[in-house]
């Protein structure tokens, strides 16, 4: 079955390639930190990103969505650059920008779910919900690592993410179940 939804097709292509960029970035991030617990947690997040990429590819294959050579190249370069930069930009910025990135990634999966649902397709609801929630867990992890940094309020003002601002409306303490999760990440 071909998807008659250009936004969904593009979102699948971008998400697939962006997950590779994120995984590459976390390889550098994990290698750049000294704390073994941080290293272990970041390595697990990298694994999660590879798993998300695999799940998105399954969806793409099911609906005959081709991999974008442009997105693959673009996000490959971005991921490698971010990975290398982790060794020169200090401890705070990799955690900050990883959290900010994950905050936006949360909505990719909830929007995919909404787009599929608009086509009458509900069979992917659970996996898309789980991936969105996992991205939220990543966001929370990174924010926890930097929440007491004196740099956080400055970066929050400059880059619109931090303790007071998020790019999604999910509260892990008060999660809606899959069937009621359409409230998440609604476009305004």
Q: For 153-168, how does the pLDDT look when each residue is reduced to its tens digit (9 = 90+)?
A: 999 999 999 999 999 9
Residue 6 has pLDDT above 80, yes or no: yes
The pLDDT of residue 187 is 72
In tens, the pLDDT along 72-92 reads 999 999 999 999 999 999 999
Q: Extract the runs of DSSP E, i.e. beta strands, from the chain.
A: none
User: pLDDT at position 184, please?
Assistant: 95
What global pTM score does this model have?
A: 0.94
Mean pLDDT of the chain: 95
Rounded Cα–Cα distance for residues 155 and 162 (Å): 8
pLDDT tens per residue across span 41-75: 999 999 999 999 999 999 999 999 999 999 999 99
Task: Return the pLDDT at 145.
Answer: 96
Residue burial 170-183, b: 16+ Cβ < 10 Å; e: rest = beeeeeeebeebee
Instruction: Evaluate if residue 5 carries a pLDDT over 90.
Output: yes
Quote the percentage of the chain above a pLDDT of 70. 99
Residue with tokens 């097709």: 9
pLDDT at 138 over 80: yes
User: Domain residue spans in the chain?
Assistant: 6-183
- Average pLDDT value for residue range 11-34: 96
State the Cα torsion 156-158-159-162 to the nearest 10°.
0
Q: What residues contact residue 30 under an 8 Å CB cut-off, 6+ apart?
A: 38, 39, 42, 43, 46
- C-alpha 181/C-alpha 82 separation (Å) is 32
Q: pLDDT grade, residue 32 (50/70/90)?
A: very high
- What is the CATH number that goes with domain 6-183? 1.20.1260
């Amino acid at each position: 079955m071909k998807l008659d939804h250009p936004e969904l097709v593009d979102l699948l292509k971008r998400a697939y390639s962006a997950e590779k960029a994120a995984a590459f970035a976390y390889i550098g991030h994990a290698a750049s930190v000294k704390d073994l617990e941080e290293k272990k947690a970041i390595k697990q997040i990298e694994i999660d990103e590879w798993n998300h990429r695999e799940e998105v590819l399954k969806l793409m294959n099911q609906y005959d969505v081709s991999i974008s050579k442009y997105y693959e190249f673009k996000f490959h370069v971005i991921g490698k650059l971010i990975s290398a930069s982790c060794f020169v930009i200090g401890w705070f910025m990799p955690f900050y920008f990883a959290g900010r990135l994950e905050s936006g990634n949360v909505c990719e999966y909830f929007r995919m779910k909404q787009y599929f649902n608009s086509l009458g397709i509900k069979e992917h609801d659970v996996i898309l919900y789980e991936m969105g929630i996992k991205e939220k867990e990543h966001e929370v992890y990174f924010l926890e690592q930097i929440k007491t940094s004196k740099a956080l309020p400055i970066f929050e003002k400059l880059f619109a993410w931090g303790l007071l601002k998020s790019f999604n409306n999910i509260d892990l303490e008060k999660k809606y179940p899959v069937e009621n999760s359409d409230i998440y990440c609604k476009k305004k």
